[in-house]
Amino acid sequence: MSVRQSLLAILDQGPCYGYQLRAEFDRRTGSTWPLNVGQIYNTLERLERDGLVARGEADPQGHVYWQITDAGSAEVARWLSSPVVRTQATRDEVAIKLAVAATLPGVDVAGVIRAQRTASMQQLESLRRAEYAGSDPEGPQGLAWSLVADSMIFAAEAELRWLDHAEQRLAGHPDHAMGLELTAERPKRGRPIGRPIPA
């Protein structure tokens, strides 16, 4: 998720100061991606360095308002019109954990799956019960929150389906046949070439 582009898109509506930007980001995402103010100001300084925003003068309360530049508006338009390209390499901690656990001798992989399934089901139930307090579900803020919540619900449901699939795949392999012993082969220098993931 791009904090940089999200903050720029909010600034495209009008000048904001740091805490205001954080509040606007939270309103639009239901606080599902917590940002600290230091992160906001670091991002604003990088955006200023790149010529995408300009720092204004402080108001009587000491708030420094940031304003988007023409180059920043063009960047927002590019971001909004471009699809998010997902990399083929997985960074999913659950998938990596299970892959490693399945190849370690003596690990109760079924137990690893059960523990993850329990946690994933609890998260899914929590998401399904969640309501955005004080927001009209049909209003812009409620709609924005529901889009984020729906995405999280679908991801949790997909994780549960994947855990069921992994459990079925692993059920056909005896535990002793799954362990990978450490290899004595010396690794080659350089970046390893991964197995391509089918499209």
Beta strands 53-58 and 64-68, pairing class: antiparallel
Sign of the alpha-carbon torsion through 160, 163, 167, 169: positive
At 91 the pLDDT is: 72
Predicted TM-score (pTM) of the model is: 0.64
> To which residue do tokens 């990399």 refer?
87
DSSP string spanning 61-86? T-PEEEEE-HHHHHHHHHHHHSPPPP
Structurally, at CATH architecture level, domain 3-81 sits in Orthogonal Bundle (1.10)
CA separation (Å) from 102 to 108, 114, 166?
A: 8, 14, 10
CA distance 182 to 193: 19
At 99 the pLDDT is: 83
Work out the number of other CB atoms within 10 angstroms of the CB of residue 119: 13
Between helix 93-102 and helix 109-129 the angle, nearest 10°, is: 160
For residue 198, the SS3 value is coil
Q: What percent of the chain has pLDDT over 90?
A: 40
Residues of the chain with pLDDT under 50: 1, 134, 176
